[in-house]
A and B are shown apart, each in its own frame.
Chain A
Amino acid sequence: MLISKIELNNFRQFKGNQTIDFSTSPERNITLILGDNTSGKTTLLQSVLWCFYEKAHFKTREELLNKLVAREMNEVNNEKTVSVTVSIIHKNYEYTIQREQAFIFSNNEVKQERGSRLTISYKDKDGQTEFIPERNVRDTVNDILPEDLSSYFLYDTERFGNITDKKDVTDAVKGLLGLTVLENTLEHIGRETRKDTVLGKFSSNLNLGNEKKSKNALVDAQRAEENKEQLENRLKKVNEQIEYYEERKEELQGILRNMKSVSELQKEKEKFERNLNIVSNDLENDKKLFFRNFNRNLYSFFSLPLIKKAKLKLVDADVSDRGIKDMNANSIKHIFERGVCVCGTRIKGNKIAHEHLQKELEYLPPKSVGLLINDFQSRLDAYKTLGETYYEQLNQSYRNILSNKKRVSDLNEEIEVLSKEIERNRESASYELELKDVNQKLMGFIQTRDQIIANIAVEEHKIKSKKEEYEQSIAESKKNKEIKLYMAYAKEIYNWVEKTYKKREKDIKNELEEKVNEYFSKIYHGQRKVEINDKYRVKLITLENDEELITDESQGLETVKNFSFLAGIVDLAKNKLKDSKNDTELEIESEAFPLILDAPFSNADERHVSSISKVLPEVAEQLILIVMRKDWNYAEKEMSNKVGKKYYLDKQSEVYTIIKEEVV
């Protein structure tokens, strides 16, 4: 960033429009501004701070407006503006930053309007002027020169104090040399254990339980498949047995039917057996129907006894139905308010109609609960009817079950009687006994078959549900996999930043100490050296007979130390810090800023002014010196050949200074 121009308009002692064009030439990079005491040297530096950050160290804000201009204001000439416009070159773009503050004359005094206005424009590549949107102007200023670094580049000697005591020096050095960027990146990516970090947020999106769940679901589904297969094999064998015994049964029945002595008995028995089959099927169907009905209206089954009890309780209740159904007291109140009934009768002034409605209120809730009870009873009746029908259906099913059970039992007895008779016949006895055995085995196998079929259905259901569970978990596992990939990238970036940060921090501390000592030795003529600790705090060490001592510092020495440090960080900041390990194009670049120095030599002696003057133009890209003539005299010898522009603050009075350009 280079400052090319500043325009002051009624700013403090700079009445009217006054301009300074700064030198942007690399060879003659000094702009010299000379001024006597109270001519406005510090005001000039403050004007840049005010323009950029609305920050100016004056006693009162009203003093921004030139006093002569303020004095000229009256009821007619009642509006004036203070403005500072700074033109800069930043990243190859020409920016114009302007801050305006309006003042008005009201009630015989000059008042500052609330809030100043900051506007920023720049010239695009085609030379067209574009304005930064108002919401972004503050961000843009900070992007150009961060406020927390401003005191190091807009250097006010009187206010700067001792660099050793400056609390923000660590942040300033880190900010300037790109370490804050890395430090913030580390803090933002963070650790998985910290929720409000990139890794923490990724981690909280992971569902690690799902991985186990999906594996378990798959194992369960596979196990169910195996079970189903085993059951199907068993079913096949059981069916073979059933088929065999059914064939044998038919053979035996045929034999018995063909035996003249028991043929009729056997035919009779088979007739009963057919009936038994039919009735047994009916019995099964009745059971199913009963359970289906029971489940369908379970609520009625349990509520009917309660409904009956409730009805008994309400037998003696006053269920007056004189009120209108579904009408409530609020409706009547509304009719009163609107003054006309739903039938069109006017209520207002109509005593009879009014009384009718008043009476109606007596029958309605909350005054009367008769209507509510009546309504409740109607509902109870409806539920009771529904419940009773349901009970009747259940009863019917139950009666059918009992009846069929009895028929099954009777038929079995009939069959048993006939079987015994056939057994008594010597010729048919062995066949009948075998037939009985076959029937028993058949029944056993059929029961086993039904059980296997039911078990297969259970396994099939398990397979289906576990497969669904597995699919769902797999989908979530895929998501986990993605998140883990993101986390791997985040960790890799974290490790890279951490490594880069540690290396740079160490390098910067060493390089800075080296640079500051280099400049210190150039500026200071004595046996001292500079030490910089991990917090970038500067300490002066005196070398006495090879012994290191800490001694008191004069104001002059403080100035030398400050400038050595400033020169050191400006020099380092000019260098681009490259990612040496990966040798990529990735750069954590620092920026070069202009140095605007107000009264830099005020505490230094002639010899030190001369040496400071040698160093600063070399290290800074642009140097703006605001000094008194007497101080300049010591620096002139070293700096005059680098001065590109020269101005004099010509003090006309305590409240008026004219900026005059002088020949270089």
Chain B
Amino acid sequence: MNIEQEEKIKLNQKKLSMMKLKIIHLEKKYVKTKFKTRSEVIDQIRKIIIDEAKKNI
């Protein structure tokens, strides 16, 4: 099944903004300090998206 052909999923703009903020904050910290490995940053971004998407707003 082609995911691109799926019907458009409605996104919550507040959640989306929060995700952007948190991801950019994480990336800013990563670019300066390399405090996490690439793989850890990827997992952290996934966690941000999952946690925010699950929130009841």
Contacts and interface: CB of A to CB of B under 8 A. Distances in A.
Interface string B29-54: 11111110011011101100110110
Interface stretch (A197-205, A243-251, A630-638): A197-205
Given A198-B45, A202-B46, A484-B6, A143 B29 contact: yes
A189 B35 CA distance: 18
A492 B18 CA distance: 13
Contacts of B3: 192, 203, 206, 484, 487
Given A185-B23, A486-B50, A488-B9, A180 B31 contact: yes
A49 B46 CA distance: 37
B20 to A, nearest CB: 6
A489 B11 contact: yes
Contact of B33 (A143, A487, A492): A143
A586 B17 contact: yes
Contacts of B43: 201
Residue of B21, B35, B38, B42 with most partner-chain A CB within 10 A: B42
B17 A489 contact: no
B23 A184 contact: no
B41 A588 contact: no
A486 B31 contact: no
Contacts of B53: 482, 485-486, 489
Interface in A97-141: 138-140
A270 interface: no
A180 B23 CA distance: 13
A197 B39 CA distance: 8
Contacts of B52: 489
A492 B19 CA distance: 10
Interface size class of A (residues with CB under 8 A): 35 or more
Contact of A184 (B11, B17, B30, B33): B30
A212 B1 CA distance: 9
A188 B42 contact: yes
Contacts of B21: 585-586
A188 B27 contact: yes
Contact of A142 (B1, B19, B33, B45): B33
A175 interface: yes
A343 B55 CA distance: 73
B42 A198 contact: yes
A206 B3 CA distance: 10
A201 B15 contact: no
Contacts of A142: 32-34
A496 interface: yes
A181 interface: yes
Interface of A is mostly: helix
Contact of A489 (B27, B33, B49): B49
Given A139-B33, A142-B34, A486 B20 contact: no
Given A188-B45, A484-B6, A146 B20 contact: no
Nearest to A487: B3
Contact of B1 (A182, A185, A211): A211
Interface string A547-585: 000000000000000000000000000000000001011
A457 interface: no
Residue among B27, B39, B41, B50 with the highest chain A CB neighbour number at 10 A: B27
Contact of A584 (B17, B31, B46): B17
A551 B3 CA distance: 56
Nearest to B54: A482
B44 to A, nearest CB: 9
A198 B16 contact: no
A395 B11 CA distance: 73
Contacts of A202: 46
B41 to A, nearest CB: 6
Contacts of B15: 489
A211 B6 CA distance: 13
B31 A184 contact: yes
Contacts of A484: 3, 6, 9
Contacts of B46: 198, 201-202, 486
Contacts of B39: 196
A490 interface: yes
B37 to A, nearest CB: 11
A142 B21 CA distance: 21
B9 A185 contact: no
Q: Which 5 A/B pairs are nearest by Cβ-Cβ distance? A: A139-B33, A488-B9, A142-B33, A181-B27, A208-B1
Given A184-B41, A484-B6, 12 more contacts: A139-B33, A181-B27, A181-B28, A184-B31, A196-B39, A196-B42, A198-B49, A211-B1, A486-B50, A488-B9, A489-B15, A493-B19
30 contacts: A139-B35, A142-B32, A143-B33, A175-B31, A181-B24, A182-B27, A184-B30, A185-B23, A185-B27, A188-B41, A196-B39, A196-B42, A197-B42, A198-B45, A198-B49, A208-B1, A212-B1, A486-B46, A486-B49, A486-B53, A487-B3, A488-B11, A489-B16, A490-B45, A492-B16, A496-B20, A584-B20, A586-B20, A586-B21, A586-B24
